[in-house]
Amino acid sequence: MDTLKDDFERTVIDDSREAGMPMEIIVGKMFKLEIWETLLSSMRIGEVAEFWCDAIHTGMYALVSRGMRRIAEGRDPLEGQKHRCGMGNMFDYHSTGYDDLDELQRTPQPLIFIMELFRVEDPSAYKRDTWAMSKEEKLAAVPVLHSEGNRLVLRREFAQAAAKYQEAVICLRNLQAKEKPWEDGWLKLESLVTPLVLNYCQCQLELGEYYEVLEHTTELLQKHNGTCALHPTPAVRVAPRDSIL
């Protein structure tokens, strides 16, 4: 999908092809830019269509684009976002981190969207990205990802296992961001994070990423140093080589 300004040059703001993967939209989930659901619902599979949308429908585009760019950069699109409606988050941001999007946020304007509909998936066949999951879905995904990582380690597929552990940690860190540090809810999540981080480090050790292992284990030791007597957090230990938690 291309997003263009409605100016003489038809200035390109975003091109989803540059991310190397098609954009996915879950219809009926109150997407921040609801007009996209309306536009896509009018299209046939394989169709390419161009739509002009008035500023009344594009006011949230800067925040939506910010999230998409973060995903393309391999970052969490919800990082730093408070648990509010989209409009509430708009007022929290001093900057999106992108000059062109800051301009759109200050002065909403008509935009042109060029869309190509590749496919429509059955809801039961869709695997949602971690960042888009609800709290319950993230909690349910963590033990599954943990087990998948352990199985991959036993097959010595360390890079794939590390990715599973990392995804589970991201789920928990997103949930922790909504808790007050060192209170019961935060500590319970932290107790799940620690073995995942250690398993991730074990994989990185096997892959020769020694500096990354040092960084993560040092962070764990600093975080938990002197706190075990005050908080029910598991003590950090280094797993023996070829072992997982």
In order of their start, the domains of the chain are 2-81+91-117 (3.10.50.40), 135-225 (1.25.40.10)
Lowest-confidence segment of 197-201, 207-211, 230-234, 236-240 by average pLDDT: 230-234
pLDDT score for 17: 81
Residue 119: pLDDT band by 50, 70, 90 thresholds?
Answer: confident
> Is the confidence at residue 227, as pLDDT, over 60?
no
Q: What is the mean pLDDT of residues 38-65?
A: 90
| Block residue for tokens 């869709």 | 126
- The pTM is what? 0.50
pLDDT score for 108: 87
Q: What is the mean pLDDT of residues 148-169?
A: 92
- Residue-wise DSSP of 70-123: HHHTTS-TTTT--SS-HHHHHHH-S--S-HHHHHHHHS---EEEEEE------G
> Is the confidence at residue 44, as pLDDT, over 70?
yes
In the chain, the percentage of residues whose pLDDT exceeds 70 is 75
pLDDT score for 76: 62
